[in-house]
Structure 1
């Protein structure tokens, strides 16, 4: 039987080509294996950051109050008492120009002083005490109308009662005004001013006669 294989299908002639291809592939694999780099395995630990939801402590802001400065001390009021000088001076002096060491000189006799008139007694309590015209209600209304609150006392927050002592004269006039207990800040001076400016009172009476009576009056200062 005749073989029908064509010369083109014969692979015997192509052995050298296949050998060379295989050799090239083998050399390529060897070359790749030498150039291959291996890396060590690393263990990566992922740390999870946990946020604590802790409420933040809020420190309250405090306002430090500054104490107001103390009020200045009340000014010392100097009372000037005017005394009537009615003393007569004898200018008629006799001078003896012919006098010598043997001239007798009479003893000096001072003039007799006039008896001083004693000041009328000031009563503390009498049968009929002095009163403001219209009564205590009218007095409180008068004080509230005429008192001007001092600016220093307003700024310093000073309030309270000022106790004033004065003398109601037999004719109803006011004299000898003084502060028994004050609160400062200009309130004492204002209370004295208003008391001195009061109209005449109804004088106190003892045994039916008007007399001098000492009177204490509290003057109240209140901030609204």
Structure 2
């Protein structure tokens, strides 16, 4: 039966079901109509002929056909429901079953830990030092060389070393360079000399301009450049003012003045 249902497919099953259902309904309609014709109540009782509401057999036929239709539907559905099948798989003389229905809870097998590979033993071959290979090295000696010839050795000039150290630019020194009179006096001087650019005023630009420079050994400022600016003429104004700055007290390393690099923030703020 299951093989026939699988061969027919879902469309064939549906059409067969409709044909059988219509045939059964028509059969029962014929049977019930014959019973109604033979019923003495419908012919002899005048109340049934006059008042159809008192007819107790009015909906009997409808419920009979409905019950039969539902029963047939359940029977056909039971035949159509497939039962789970088991598949036998054979691999190298080992048989096991795979069911269509798999339990939701199962335990995974423990993974196999690979064993470490064997490292081949290292064989150390001793070397016989008794047979050493000798190399012939020829050194050419000048003809005018004698035992009284003096070989001059080079010794670096201390002044050159000091000049090299002094020209080196330091970031961190033993004594940091500072403005004469302190940084408070420097910012007071800066506030008097700096001018707020007109373009920055119109655009409402404000912020900090970071200027990098080197304080030379004599305290003057050199190599001024803006490392982070805000534009609108503020960067140029900060560099202009620092170029006219008085000399600082230079930084010192080992008691000697050295060149030191610094980065100084200059603030531009609009007053309301």
Higher helix proportion: 2
Could you say which structure has the greater relative contact order, defined with CA pairs below 8 angstroms and 6 or more residues apart? 1
Taking structure 1 as the reference length, what is the TM-score of the superposition? 0.47
Structure of larger gyration radius: 1
Taking structure 2 as the reference length, what is the TM-score of the superposition? 0.39
